[in-house]
């Protein structure tokens, strides 16, 4: 978690951004002001960013792009940077990139997010779903593909080793000596991991559906339950509302973010949430979790 405040920063919390590191590459979710500083502070390599997924174009979620794309240019980035933003708002992002005629000589692609799968990579895909906020906003689901895990003892006893693993993976079977061994006999299915990034929004049925059984739900909790009227009016969530969603969707862990600057102490948010869903953490900048 790179930035865990909402609307305005505090001394402790920067503006929204989260990074998923997967296979040595970095995928950013939102890019609030100061995100590049937080990346430096928390050891997230700027040159490894492949794609950025923007939830919506409120300033607190996008202003950091202006600085980040320039630093990438100064670092002699060559490879394409892809930025996803709710369809129709591509121009807003392009303006942030070109406003001062900075020389950005690597390709920046700005793509419109719509519901469904928007990004595919080896090993995972990212899909988007609509949220309920003041302007068009999307939540993102990062979903790893299901995999097969080799049963070490069984492979050893059957003499499968070295390059044979690749062969059996590609062909679905292998012949060792005179014996034909199918991949299903030496592997166990391993469900892919899933992580959701959901901010800013009221509680949504679309989130509940996308989050079913997820390993980690990163969800906004701008307010405590006592401020529910404010949450409704500004189209945000309370900690208890986020927890209820986590419980309904049976996720494994809930990570609260986009905390209003009014909460110097987040114990209240934590107790609102844990009354309903036990495995909740209120994120801090720099908070890291392995899924």
DSSP state at residue 25 = E
> Is the CB of residue 88 less than 8 Å from the CB of residue 114?
no
Q: Residue 241 interacts with Zn ion (CB under 5 A)? A: no
Report, in Å, the least distance between residue 213 CB and Zn ion.
Answer: 27
Span of 1-9, 27-35, 44-52, 238-246 interacting with Zn ion by CB under 5 A: 1-9
Q: Residue 6 interacts with Zn ion (CB under 5 A)? A: yes
For residues 6 and 9, which CB has a smaller minimum distance to Zn ion in the complex? 6
Report, in Å, the least distance between residue 194 CB and Zn ion.
Answer: 23
Query: 24-63 mask for Zn ion (x: CB under 5 A)?
Result: ----------------------------------x-x---
Residues within window 176-205 making contact with Zn ion, judged by CB under 5 A:
200
Size of the site for Zn ion (CB under 5 A): 4
Tokens 């928390």 identify what position? Answer: 42
For residues 164 and 230, which CB has a smaller minimum distance to Zn ion in the complex? 230
Report, in Å, the least distance between residue 222 CB and Zn ion.
Answer: 8
For residues 6 and 139, which CB has a smaller minimum distance to Zn ion in the complex? 6
Burial class (CB within 10 angstroms; exposed 0-12, middle 13-18, buried 19+) of 288? exposed
Query: 133-172 mask for Zn ion (x: CB under 5 A)?
Result: ----------------------------------------
For residues 117 and 135, which CB has a smaller minimum distance to Zn ion in the complex? 135
CA of 287: how far to CAs of 156, 166, 255, in Å? 39, 36, 10
Q: Is 103 left (phi over 0), alpha (psi -120 to 50) or beta?
A: beta
Q: Residue 225 interacts with Zn ion (CB under 5 A)? A: no
Span of 2-10, 31-39, 160-168, 224-232 interacting with Zn ion by CB under 5 A: 2-10
Report, in Å, the least distance between residue 274 CB and Zn ion.
Answer: 24
Query: 56-85 mask for Zn ion (x: CB under 5 A)?
Result: --x-x-------------------------
Of 207, 214, 37, nearest to 129 by C-alpha is: 207
Residues with catalytic function: 60
Report, in Å, the least distance between residue 258 CB and Zn ion.
Answer: 6
Report, in Å, the least distance between residue 239 CB and Zn ion.
Answer: 16
Binding site for Zn ion (CB under 5 A): 6, 58, 60, 200
């Amino acid at each position: 978690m790179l930035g865990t405040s909402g609307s305005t920063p505090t001394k402790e919390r920067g503006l929204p951004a989260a990074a998923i590191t997967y296979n040595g590459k970095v995928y950013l979710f939102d890019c609030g002001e100061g995100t590049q500083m937080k990346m430096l502070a928390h050891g997230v390599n700027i040159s490894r960013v492949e794609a950025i997924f923007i939830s919506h174009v409120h300033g607190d979620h996008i202003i950091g792009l202006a600085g980040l794309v320039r630093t990438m240019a100064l670092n002699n980035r060559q490879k394409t940077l892809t930025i996803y933003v709710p369809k129709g708002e591509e121009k807003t992002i392009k303006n942030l990139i070109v406003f001062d005629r900075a020389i950005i000589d690597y390709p920046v692609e700005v793509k419109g997010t719509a519901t469904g799968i928007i990004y595919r990579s080896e090993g995972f895909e990212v899909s988007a779903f609509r949220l309920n906020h003041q302007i068009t906003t999307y939540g993102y689901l990062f979903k790893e593909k299901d995999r097969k895990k080799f049963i070490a003892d069984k492979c050893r006893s059957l003499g499968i080793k070295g390059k044979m693993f690749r062969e059996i993976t590609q062909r679905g079977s292998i012949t060792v000596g005179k014996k034909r061994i199918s991949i299903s006999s030496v592997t166990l299915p391993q469900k892919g991991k899933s992580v959701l990034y959901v901010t800013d929004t009221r509680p949504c049925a679309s989130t509940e559906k996308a989050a079913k059984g997820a390993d980690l739900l990163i969800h906004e909790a701008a307010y405590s339950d006592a401020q529910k009227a404010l949450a409704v009016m500004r189209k945000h969530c309370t900690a208890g509302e986020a927890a209820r969603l986590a419980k309904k969707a049976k996720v494994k862990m809930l990570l609260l973010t986009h905390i209003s600057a009014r909460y110097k102490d987040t114990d209240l948010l934590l107790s609102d949430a844990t009354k309903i869903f036990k495995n909740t953490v209120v994120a801090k900048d720099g908070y890291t979790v392995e899924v």
